[in-house]
């Protein structure tokens, strides 16, 4: 930025003068963090609402009657569980029959709290992959403090212990997948030399038991400019076949797909913008982000895999959503393929069955509620067993078991209400953006709400990476906000995936401003309709949604009185040089490209903060351990606001990764801090 003066003050600092805050653990930067944490905590923890909000949030988060969502694997359901007695969590399993009947017989496999205590490490559970044909051998990932970089160890399920001398990796963004009991595919990101510019794996090695991982033979390699390189094994249960796949992530949305063919990588003849969905009865299933022949973007398409291996592409259409729909998730069971469809941002599930001609498909809607969100929690490709979840903003989550063949549905359990919903209602409204596009949003409020502009209102948004914002049960927000008369709004702005690839691509790269315009349009619509006024309107978003917050309050400071800016991107001229930032250039553009730099300069919050404007007080929330979005974004923005004497609060959790909270206690504290701030700023009655 050009140096200027503010009255008789010293010249303003340049962007580079703040770079020292990008040093994660220096005494100087951590000293700055601790000073601002203390100042913010001293204020927020003394509010009249904080203690009660923390207690209420913790009670919900630690409740023992939460739904134990699980993954079906043959005759068992596996679940990771956290509560007051297991703050870091336990990994456990129950026989399917007991789980289905709502009386699970849990057998603890791994106690992360006990492991953390015995090792002196702040372990956070990252996930498990078990060997398909011998499920007693598993690969467990753990991170310290919740970062994306994870440790890996081989675990013996029968003995409930890590295997001495087994497969093991230090913390990194590497990943591994079983080939057989003595071989793994190792996606190597151990050192800078084996990492892409984005910090992910550059090569795939075939790692045999007893060998050193970094000495295993390389079987596939990409380029440094790739986002990531991966190898994995996919199974076709009906054909009793498995295949080794490799991918070169050319950008966040494009990749080359390869398969091991007689010991050599073979490049599949597919466009780079398709996304593999799985193998089923000899068919390779994928979706397309752009028009493919006569198939519109966002379709589900199949092709015989045997033909694909010959270089042929006799594509067959499975399903094409209309302009108000999008494919959300695809799951596969033994005999069927299921598509979770968003229809005007409400869920619907369709079952597809391959016909005898092996080229056409029969479809049938599943008999499920379609006014909220359906989750295909788990399927099993050795059976037709399914776990399905349902919720909406006011309806507690339900979990069902379903037979994918008979479509017989059985309620396993439903979450008890966490807040009083009597007198509350849900509505879907539409705002008109600057270019005339209709932008949907959900609003939850009391039926008796007066349209006098005095309602404390929180507007939440994301708008990026083709991520759809679904209706979800507002357990904590309902207790801390809706019960007390607050209004909650969820904006489905462009950049998300609510209406498929077109909705995402409308706000991509040089069109990013449309997402910000959409969000402002929703805010203005709320004000025009008398729901609220700027004095009572707050906004919240995290990660890409944190960028949305930064752009919103710098472009329209007159619209808001509170901003919760969580784990944000804010310096869009340097984001690609920080942690995983380079992997997002397909979303935002390359700041080193003069054309895109001009676009980014126009909205980058860090560069567009003005010493001459009046801004609402902003609450920045981030984590030192976040190794996805660098906390330097929030640090630098807050420091510049401090230089300009603009109001802000700042809280940086020393642990917690990209979620900014590593365990339930930290999550409750963060929730109480954020909602106390919003209540204070927007006039919520305690």
Q: What is the mean pLDDT of residues 438-463?
A: 99
pLDDT bracket for residue 5 (50, 70, 90) = very low
- Per-residue HEC secondary structure of 524-555 comes to HHHHHCCCCCHHHEEEEEECHHHHHHHHHHHH
Task: Say yes or no to pLDDT of 391 above 60.
Answer: yes
Cβ contacts of residue 517 below 8 Å, gap of 6+? 433, 434, 435
Q: What pLDDT sits at residue 686?
A: 73
- The residue count for the chain: 686
pLDDT over threshold 70, residue 662 = no
pLDDT band at 402 (very low <50, low <70, confident <90, very high): very high
pLDDT at 6: 39
Reported as a single tens digit per residue, the pLDDT across 486-504 is 999 999 999 999 999 999 9
Query: For the chain, what percent of residues have pLDDT higher than 70?
Result: 97
Residue matched to tokens 């054309």: 595
CATH superfamily for 20-58+418-682 is: Alpha/Beta hydrolase fold, catalytic domain (3.40.50.1820)
List, by residue number, the catalytic residues: 543, 658
Half-sphere exposure of 548 (CA within 13 A, CB side): 31
Answer yes or no: CATH 2.40.50.140 is held by domain 278-417. Answer: no
pLDDT at 49 over 60: yes
Compute the distance between CA of residue 195 and CA of residue 670 in angstroms, rounded to an integer. 33
Specify the pLDDT at position 444. Answer: 99
Tell me which of 2-16, 362-376, 661-675 is least confident: 2-16
| Contact residues for 193 (Cβ-Cβ < 8 A; gap 6+) | none
Task: Show the tokens assigned to 151.
Answer: 């440790």
Q: Kindly tell me if the per-residue pLDDT of 337 is higher than 50.
A: yes
657 vs 252, residue with greater confidence: 252
Contact 463, 496 (CB under 8 A): yes
Per DSSP, the chain holds a count of helices (H) and strands (E) of 14, 37
pLDDT bucket at 173, cuts 50 / 70 / 90: confident
The span from the first CA to the last CA of the chain, in angstroms, equals 43
Residue 27 CB contacts under 8 Å (≥ 6 apart), including other chains? none
Percentage above 90 pLDDT, the chain: 90
At 125-137, the pLDDT tens digits run 999 999 998 779 9
pLDDT over threshold 60, residue 657: no
List the structure tokens of 570.
């804010």
Q: Which tokens go with 344?
A: 């005007």
Average of per-residue pLDDT across 40-54:
96
CA 126 to chain CA mean position, Å: 14
Task: State how far the Cα of 146 lies from the Cα of 134, in Å rounded to an integer.
Answer: 29
Q: What is the pLDDT of residue 619?
A: 99
Burial classification of residue 262, based on how many CB atoms lie within 10 Å of its CB (0-12 exposed, 13-18 middle, 19 or more buried) = exposed
Instruction: Break the chain into its structural domains and give their ranges.
Output: 20-58+418-682, 278-417
Average pLDDT, the chain: 95
Tell me the torsion sign for CA atoms 592, 18, 148, 658: negative
Q: Tell me the pLDDT band of 3, cut-offs 50, 70 and 90.
A: very low
- DSSP letters for 135-196: TTEEEEEEEETT-S-EEEEEEETTTTEEPTTSSEEEEES-EEEEEETTEEEEEE-SSGGGB-
Per-residue pLDDT tens for 72-114? 999 999 999 998 899 899 999 999 999 999 999 999 999 999 9
Question: Does residue 7 have a pLDDT over 60?
Answer: no
Mean pLDDT of 180-192: 96
Does pLDDT of 381 surpass 90? yes
| Cβ(194)–Cβ(202) below 8 Å | yes
Token output for 121 = 């490490």
pLDDT, residue 135, reads 78
Question: pLDDT of 593-645, one tens digit each?
Answer: 999 999 999 999 999 999 999 999 999 999 998 777 899 999 999 999 999 99
404: helix, coil or strand? Answer: coil
CB 506 within 8 A of CB 454: no
Asked whether the predicted pLDDT for residue 1 surpasses 50, the reply is no
pTM (2 d.p.): 0.90
Q: Which of 377, 412, 366, 419 is closest to 396 using CA atoms?
A: 419
What digits encode the pLDDT tens for the residues 513-569?
A: 999 999 999 999 999 999 999 999 999 999 999 999 999 999 999 999 999 999 999
Measure the CA–CA gap between 654 and 37, rounded to whole angstroms: 10
What are 558's two structure tokens?
């007159």
Task: State the average pLDDT over residues 481-485.
Answer: 97
Backbone torsions φ then ψ of 216, nearest 5 degrees: -65, 150
């Amino acid at each position: 930025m050009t140096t200027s003066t503010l009255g008789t003050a010293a010249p303003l600092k340049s962007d580079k003068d703040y770079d020292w805050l990008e040093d994660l653990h220096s005494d100087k930067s951590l000293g700055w963090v601790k000073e601002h944490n203390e100042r913010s905590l001293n204020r927020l923890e003394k509010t009249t609402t904080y203690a009660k909000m923390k207690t209420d949030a913790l009670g919900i988060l630690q409740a023992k009657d939460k739904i134990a969502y699980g993954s079906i694997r043959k005759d068992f359901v596996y679940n990771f569980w956290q509560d007051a007695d297991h703050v870091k969590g336990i990994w456990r399993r129950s026989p399917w029959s007991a789980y289905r009947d709502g009386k699970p017989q849990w057998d603890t496999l791994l106690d992360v709290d006990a492991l953390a205590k015995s090792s002196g490490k702040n372990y956070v559970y990252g996930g498990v992959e078990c060997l398909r044909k011998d499920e007693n051998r598993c690969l467990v990932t753990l991170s310290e403090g919740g970062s994306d970089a994870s440790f890996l160890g081989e675990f013996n399920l029968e003995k409930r212990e890590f295997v001495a001398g087994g497969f093991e990796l230090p913390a990194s963004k590497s990943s591994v997948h079983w080939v057989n009991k003595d071989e793994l595919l190792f996606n190597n990101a151990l050192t800078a030399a084996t990492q892409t510019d984005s910090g992910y794996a550059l090569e795939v090695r075939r790692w045999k038991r007893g060998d050193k991982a970094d000495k295993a033979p390389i079987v596939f390699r990409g380029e440094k400019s790739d986002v990531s390189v991966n190898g994995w094994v996919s199974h076709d249960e009906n054909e009793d076949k498995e295949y080794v796949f490799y991918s070169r992530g050319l950008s966040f949305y494009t990749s080359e797909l390869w398969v091991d063919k007689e010991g050599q990588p073979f490049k599949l003849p597919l466009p780079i913008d398709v996304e593999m969905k799985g193998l089923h009865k000899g068919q390779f299933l994928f979706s397309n982000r752009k028009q493919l022949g006569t198939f519109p973007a966002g379709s589900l398409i199949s092709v015989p895999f045997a033909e694909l291996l010959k270089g042929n592409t006799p594509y067959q259409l499975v399903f094409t959503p209309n302009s108000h729909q999008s494919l959300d998730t695809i799951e596969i069971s033994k005999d069927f393929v299921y598509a979770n469809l968003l229809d005007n941002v409400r869920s619907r599930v369709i079952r597809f069955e391959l016909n005898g001609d092996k080229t056409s498909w029969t479809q049938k809607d599943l008999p499920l509620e379609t006014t909220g969100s359906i989750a295909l929690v788990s399927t099993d490709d050795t059976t037709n067993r399914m776990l399905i979840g349902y919720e909406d903003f006011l309806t507690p989550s339900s979990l069902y078991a379903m037979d994918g063949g008979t479509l017989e549905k059985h309620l396993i359990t439903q979450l008890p209400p966490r807040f009083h919903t009597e007198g509350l209602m849900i509505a879907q409204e539409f705002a008109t953006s600057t270019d005339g596009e209709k932008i949907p949003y959900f609003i939850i409020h009391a039926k008796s709400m007066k349209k006098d502009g005095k309602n404390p209102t929180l507007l939440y948004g994301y708008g990026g990476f083709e991520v759809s914002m679904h209706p979800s049960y507002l357990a904590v927000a309902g207790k801390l906000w809706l019960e007390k008369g607050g209004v909650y709004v969820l904006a489905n702005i462009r950049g998300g995936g609510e209406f498929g690839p077109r909705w995402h691509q409308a706000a991509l790269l040089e069109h990013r401003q449309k997402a910000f315009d959409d969000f402002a349009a929703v805010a203005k619509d709320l004000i025009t309709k008398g729901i609220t006024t700027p004095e009572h309107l707050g906004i919240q978003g995290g990660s890409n949604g944190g960028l949305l917050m930064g752009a919103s309050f710098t472009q329209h400071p007159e619209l808001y009185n509170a901003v919760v800016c969580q784990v944000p991107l804010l310096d869009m001229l340097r984001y690609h040089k920080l942690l995983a930032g380079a992997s997002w250039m397909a979303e935002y553009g390359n700041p080193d490209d003069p054309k895109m730099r001009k676009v980014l300069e126009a909205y980058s919050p860090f560069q567009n903060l003005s010493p001459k404007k009046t801004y609402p007080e902003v609450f920045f929330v981030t984590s030192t351990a976040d190794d996805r979005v660098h906390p330097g974004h929030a640090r630098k923005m807050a420091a510049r606001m401090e230089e300009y004497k603009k109001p802000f609060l700042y809280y940086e959790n020393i642990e917690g990764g990209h979620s900014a909270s590593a365990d339930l206690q930290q999550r409750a504290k963060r929730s109480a801090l954020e909602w106390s701030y919003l209540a204070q700023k927007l006039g919520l009655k305690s």
